[in-house]
């Protein structure tokens, strides 16, 4: 594995391998036998805001022996229009790896191709692969293997996180039920391309029925702020709350990639009742991304 650009580009074996390696990273934190990023400098190039992804990558790179450099896209020439392929060719000659958060998936693909250094997608409009690896690791920790799993994704079924869930379900073979208003459902061509046990409906209760995981994300993803009022109206009825949770398995996990907007995609009581799971998810970003970093430099974590 040279880059981590999408869940789409991973095999089930690679996904399951990363989940196992995340567990090793977590259990050996503070006493890793190897520091695979030693003498390496990695850039984080971010065009969108971030708390979890930025902190977990900066800490994770350091814990693996490397040095991170955070570059807000607006502060470098990229923000003034220098093409990504030129930025990539410069960075590829100076850095050992890059973590990119941007809009267009093609930009991370181009960065990887033109830089020649290991490149990680830290969120684009199309995918959020690091999030989903950490989430699958969290589910494995709390529930066990993914066999027989049913995940219900409630909300914006066409956002980056939902799209990565679609590919994860297709690759790993678990069931994914998406409930979204019609205008925010994933396109049929994506569902056809992914395959797997993925269903889409407008009915949140139907999606939640029998689910082992109820998952949601913000209604207004970064870059969609001018649609906020329209989205708030469209997504009424797509909140995770006690009424929806009653449709799921009695021991269902409630998960949220964060940041959360209480009273919108999830209510305060449900969020706080499941905060332990939700913040475990956030913590697991660190362990999962360390597993990804080690894998990309050819030194996967070993128990
Ligand atoms: N979930 C997630 O990626 O959070 P940040 O936007 O804070 O990085
Ligand atoms: N779908 C959200 C995820 C945030 C981590 C966004 O793109 O803003």
pLDDT tens digits along 61-88:
999 999 999 999 999 999 999 999 999 9
**Atom number in ligand 2 closest to CA 221:** 8
CA distance 55 to 68: 11
Would you say 87 and 76 are in contact if contact means Cβ atoms under 8 Å apart? yes
Question: What value does the mean pLDDT of the chain take?
Answer: 98
pLDDT in tens, 246-292: 999 999 999 999 999 999 999 999 999 999 999 999 999 999 999 99
Handedness of CA 287, 100, 73, 46 (dihedral sign): negative
CA 256–ligand 1 middle distance (angstroms) = 11
Q: Residue 26: which H helix or E strand, with range?
A: helix 12-27
Ligand 2, pocket-test mutation among 47, 55, 102, 222, most atoms within 8 A of CB:
222
**Atom number in ligand 2 closest to CA 159:** 1
Domain segments of the chain as ranges: 12-127+286-296, 131-281
Q: What is the chain's pLDDT, residue by residue, as a tens digit (303 residues)? A: 999 999 999 999 999 999 999 999 999 999 999 999 999 999 999 999 999 999 999 999 999 999 999 999 999 999 999 999 999 999 999 999 999 999 999 999 999 999 999 999 999 999 999 999 999 999 999 999 999 999 999 999 999 999 999 999 999 999 999 999 999 999 999 999 999 999 999 999 999 999 999 999 999 999 999 999 999 999 999 999 999 999 999 999 999 999 999 999 999 999 999 999 999 999 999 999 999 999 999 999 998
Residue bearing tokens 């030129």: 86
- Shortest-distance Cα residue to atom 4 of ligand 1: 52
Q: What is the CATH number of domain 12-127+286-296?
A: 3.40.50.1370
Written as six digits, the tokens of 123 are 């969120």
Coil vs helix vs strand at 278: helix
**Atom number in ligand 1 closest to CA 54:** 8
DSSP 248: S
Residues 6+ apart with CB under 8 A from 106: none
94 to 44, 90, 97, 116, 126: CA distances (angstroms): 13, 7, 9, 11, 28
Fold match between 12-127+286-296 and 131-281?
Answer: yes
CA 266–ligand 1 middle distance (angstroms) = 17
Q: pTM higher than 0.95 for the full model?
A: yes
- Closest to 277 measured CA to CA, from 251, 301, 298: 251
Give the ligand at the shortest distance from the Cα of 124.
2
- Shortest-distance Cα residue to atom 7 of ligand 1: 51
Could you tell me if the CB of 236 is within 6 A of ligand 1?
Answer: no
52 to 241, 259, 301: CA distances (angstroms): 24, 9, 22
Question: Which residues are identified as catalytic?
Answer: 101, 128, 131, 217, 257, 285
CA 93–ligand 2 middle distance (angstroms) = 31
- Shortest-distance Cα residue to atom 6 of ligand 1: 50
CA distance 43 to 120: 10
Could you tell me if the CB of 53 is within 6 A of ligand 1?
Answer: yes
Q: What is the CATH number of domain 131-281?
A: 3.40.50.1370
């Amino acid at each position: 594995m040279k880059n981590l650009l999408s869940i789409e580009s991973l095999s089930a074996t690679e996904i399951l391998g990363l989940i196992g390696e995340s567990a090793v990273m977590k259990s050996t934190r503070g006493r890793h036998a190897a520091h695979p990023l030693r003498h390496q400098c990695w850039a984080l190039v971010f065009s969108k805001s971030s708390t979890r992804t930025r902190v977990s990558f900066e800490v994770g790179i350091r814990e693996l022996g490397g040095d991170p450099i955070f570059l807000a896209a607006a502060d470098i020439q990229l923000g003034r229009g220098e093409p990504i392929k030129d930025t990539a060719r410069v960075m590829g000659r100076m850095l050992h790896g890059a973590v990119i958060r941007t809009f267009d998936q093609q930009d991370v693909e181009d960065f990887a191709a033109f830089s020649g250094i290991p490149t990680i997608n830290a969120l684009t409009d199309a995918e959020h692969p690091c999030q989903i690896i950490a989430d699958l690791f969290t589910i494995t920790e709390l529930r066990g293997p993914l066999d027989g799993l049913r995940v219900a994704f409630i909300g914006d079924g066409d956002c980056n996180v939902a799209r990565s869930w679609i590919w994860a379900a297709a690759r790993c073979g678990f069931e994914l039920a998406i409930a979204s208003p019609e205008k925010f459902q994933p396109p049929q061509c994506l569902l056809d391309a992914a395959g797997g046990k993925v269903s889409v409906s407008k009915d949140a209760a139907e999606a939640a029925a029998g689910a082992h995981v109820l998952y949601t994300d913000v209604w207004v993803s970064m870059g969609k702020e001018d649609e906020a009022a329209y989205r708030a109206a469209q997504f009424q009825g797509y909140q995770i709350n006690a009424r929806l949770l009653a449709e799921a398995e009695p021991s269902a996990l409630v998960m949220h990639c964060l940041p959360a907007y209480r009273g919108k995609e999830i209510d305060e009581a449900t969020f706080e009742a499941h905060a332990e799971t939700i913040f475990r998810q956030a913590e697991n970003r660190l362990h999962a991304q360390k597993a990804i970093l080690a894998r990309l430099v050819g030194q996967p974590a070993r128990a």
